[in-house]
Amino acid sequence: MCSVLTRIRPIHRAVALSLRLGANTEGSSYAATQSRRLSPGKNSVVDLQRNARFYCSRMAKTEGLLFRQLFEVESSTYTYLLADTNTREAIIIDPVLETIDRDLSLIEELGLKLILAVNTHCHADHITSSGLMKKRIAGLKSAISKFSGASADILLSEGDKIRFGKHYLTVRETPGHTDGCTTFVSADESMAFTGDALLIRGCGRTDFQQGCAKCLYDSVHDKIFTLPDDCLVYPAHDYLGQTVSTVGEERKYNPRLIKSKDEFVEIMNSLNLPKPDKIDISVPANLVCGLHGL
């Protein structure tokens, strides 16, 4: 399933496990991710990970859809590349600054025409590469929710269609982690790109960036858990090396979101996590398409 060099795959798994060790209680906390980095003396593994091109070529259910799931190790973030196999028009979801060269190289190798770089929300744990991509690809546009407070060529609202070739993703507003969180759902409802709203066996934090636990609970239950059970959930971050879940799985096994709303709010309000290490750098940059100071 995954197009990862055989000699690298065990390292990828080890790094992913180290990054997300333990219960998924931190949501997208960059600080918590950093605290679980490999121990001193193993930095060579991290260096190798950074130089390798990891991506998953998991088959999409939709005919004529090219799909790649890519991984950025430092923030434990997934980036998603989708394209129409006929027209070659492509979009990229949640691209990360550190992996821009890898992503653009893959796009060139696959013969794709990237038309849109879209973010699920204004990230606090990494800087988006969407602005820098626009400088390197003529005609590329950026997109983000109109409620994010960030600048972009396209400001998205509930029900908007993100089109590429004959395919499209529908925008569902899923605030709670931030005001501007969105989930992108494929036309046949076989795939949902949930950002930090819904993670595998967890969810994003609600204690900064306009976070609201009640809002997040309602967003997930009303906008994501209403999708078909077999709809694949592709989040912004991995969990113990897991790359994908389903709506049915999360509705049944997500330890936070199977609770009542009051219990969920109590859980989210008692996490007592340190703020993400990069929040003071990432948020100002992401408000201007990742170009602050660049």
The burial class, CB within 10 Å (0-12 / 13-18 / 19+), for 172 is buried
Tokens of 186: 């494929």
The answer on pLDDT for 49 being more than 60 is: no
The answer on pLDDT for 239 being more than 70 is: yes
**What does the pLDDT look like over 154-189, one tens digit per residue?**
999 999 999 999 999 999 999 999 999 999 999 999
pLDDT at res. 133: 97
**What does the pLDDT look like over 72-93, one tens digit per residue?**
999 999 999 999 999 999 999 9
**What does the pLDDT look like over 266-278, one tens digit per residue?**
999 999 999 888 9
Percent of the chain at pLDDT > 70 equals 78
User: Which residues are within 8 A (CB) of 140 and not within 5 positions of it... i.e. 6 or more apart?
Assistant: 114, 115, 116, 117, 133, 134
Between 194 and 55, where is the model more confident?
Answer: 194
pLDDT, average across residues 114-139: 96
In the CATH scheme, what is the code of domain 50-273? Answer: 3.60.15.10
DSSP 143-186: EEETTS----SEEE-TT-EEEETTEEEEEEE--SSSTT-EEEEE
* H-run or E-run covering 34: helix 30-35
Q: How many CB atoms lie within 10 A of CB 105?
A: 12
- Residues 169 and 61: their CA atoms lie apart, in Å, by 14
pLDDT at res. 271: 94
pLDDT, average across residues 120-135: 94
Cα separations in angstroms, 18 against 37, 137, 165, 200, 230: 6, 35, 39, 16, 29
pLDDT at res. 294: 55
pLDDT at res. 241: 86
Tokens of 223: 């906008």
Question: Do residues 69 and 45 touch, judged by C-beta distance below 8 A?
Answer: no
The burial class, CB within 10 Å (0-12 / 13-18 / 19+), for 48 is middle
For the chain, first and last CA: distance in Å? 37
